[in-house]
C-alpha cells in the first residue's frame, strides 16, 4: 500500500486543526511540514512555534522538510517542537554529515533532500547514515508546480542503489504529485509520496487522502 504525507503548505492556514483531522481520518502516514525561510527558497512559511502547537492536536508523525539556509542552527528547536523526521537539503548545509549525526543524536529519523539539479552522487558517502532520501520533483519553494518528468530516472536509480546495497532507506518524492501520476511514481520505486495541492485543494480532503492510500 502507498504511504502518503500530505503537505500542509496547501492547507487553509486559518483552520489548521480541522485540516489535519481530515487527512488523519483519511489514513495519512505523515504530516509533511514545509519550513521555508525566504533565503534558501523565495517563500516564507512557519517555524517551531506553529509546529509545537500542532503537535498537541494530532498523533500523526511529523515529517519536517527544512528549506532553510544552514539548518544546523535550528535542528534542536524542531526536535523540541515535535518532529519525528527532519529532512535537510544537501545544498543548504555546510557539513552534511555532521548535520545528519546531530538529527540522529536526538533519536529521530534523518533525511536528506536533493533539488532537481543535484546529483545522487552528492550523498554517496552519507547514504549509510540516512533513514530517508527526499527527491524533489519541482524546484522547492511553492506548492502547485508541475512534476519534472526527468526526475523519474533519478527515482529509479536511487531505488536500484538502495536495493543493491540492501539499505533501509525510505524514498520520498515531493512536488507535483497528483492522484493521476502517483501510481507511475510508485512504480519508479518511491515509498512515500508528498502531495500538497492535490490533497488540500480537493473538494473532499479526507476522501482524496484515502484515494492515495488505496493506490
Ligand atoms: C515545495 C514543497 C512541497 C509542496 C508540494 O517546495 O516542498 O512539499 O508543498 O506541493 P504540491 O504537491 O502542490 O506540488
Ligand atoms: Zn516539501
Q: Which of 34, 37, 63, 198 is catalytic?
A: 34
pLDDT at 94: 96
Q: What are the residues whose beta carbon lies below 5 Å from ligand 2 (ion)?
A: 34, 65, 174
Please say if the pLDDT value at position 132 is more than 90: yes
Residue 84: is it exposed, middle or buried by C-beta count within 10 angstroms (0-12/13-18/19+)?
middle
Domain boundaries, the chain: 3-213
Among 206, 211, 208, smallest CA distance to 22 is for 206
Q: What is the pLDDT of residues 2-11, one digit of tens each?
A: 899 999 999 9
Alpha helix ranges (H) inside the chain: 16-25, 48-55, 75-81, 96-105, 151-164, 179-188, 197-200, 205-213
> Which one-letter DSSP state was computed for residue 93?
-
What's the whole-number average pLDDT of the chain?
Answer: 98
**Percentage of the chain exceeding pLDDT 70:** 100
pLDDT band at residue 57, thresholds of 50, 70 and 90?
very high
Asked about 18 being catalytic, the answer comes back as no
**Percentage of the chain exceeding pLDDT 90:** 99
**ipTM attached to this prediction:** 0.99
pLDDT at 114: 98
**Which residues have C-beta atoms less than 6 Å from ligand 1?**
7, 9-10, 32, 34, 65, 138, 140-141, 143-145, 174-177, 194-198
pLDDT at 138: 98
User: What does CATH list as the number for 3-213?
Assistant: 3.20.20.70
pLDDT at 1: 79
Q: Model-level pTM?
A: 0.98
Binding-site sequence positions for a divalent metal cation: 32, 34, 65, 174
The stretch 101-123 carries a mean pLDDT of 98
Amino acid at each position: 500500500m502507498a504511504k502518503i504525507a500530505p503537505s500542509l503548505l496547501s492547507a487553509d492556514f486559518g483552520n489548521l486543526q480541522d485540516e489535519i483531522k481530515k487527512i488523519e481520518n483519511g489514513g495519512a502516514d505523515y504530516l509533511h511540514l514545509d519550513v521555508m525561510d525566504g533565503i534558501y527558497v523565495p517563500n516564507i512559511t512557519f517555524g517551531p512555534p506553529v509546529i509545537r502547537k500542532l503537535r498537541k492536536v494530532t498523533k500523526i508523525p511529523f515529517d519536517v522538510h527544512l528549506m532553510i539556509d544552514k539548518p544546523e542552527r535550528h535542528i534542536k528547536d524542531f526536535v523540541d517542537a515535535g518532529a519525528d523526521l527532519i529532512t535537510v537539503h544537501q545544498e543548504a548545509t555546510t557539513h552534511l554529515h555532521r548535520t545528519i549525526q546531530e538529527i540522529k543524536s536526538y533519536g529521530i529519523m534523518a533525511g536528506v533532500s536533493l533539488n532537481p539539479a543535484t546529483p545522487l552522487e552528492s550523498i554517496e558517502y552519507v547514504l549509510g547514515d540516512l533513514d530517508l532520501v527526499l527527491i524533489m520533483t519541482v524546484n522547492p519553494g511553492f506548492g502547485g508546480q508541475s512534476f519534472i518528468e526527468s526526475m523519474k530516472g533519478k527515482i529509479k536509480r536511487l531505488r536500484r542503489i538502495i536495493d543493491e546495497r540492501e539499505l533501509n532507506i525510505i524514498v520520498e518524492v515531493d512536488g507535483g504529485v497528483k492522484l493521476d501520476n502517483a501510481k507511475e511514481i510508485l512504480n519508479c520505486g518511491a515509498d512515500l509520496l508528498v502531495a500538497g495541492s492535490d490533497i488540500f485543494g480537493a473538494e473532499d480532503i479526507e476522501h482524496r487522502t484515502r484515494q492515495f492510500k488505496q493506490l
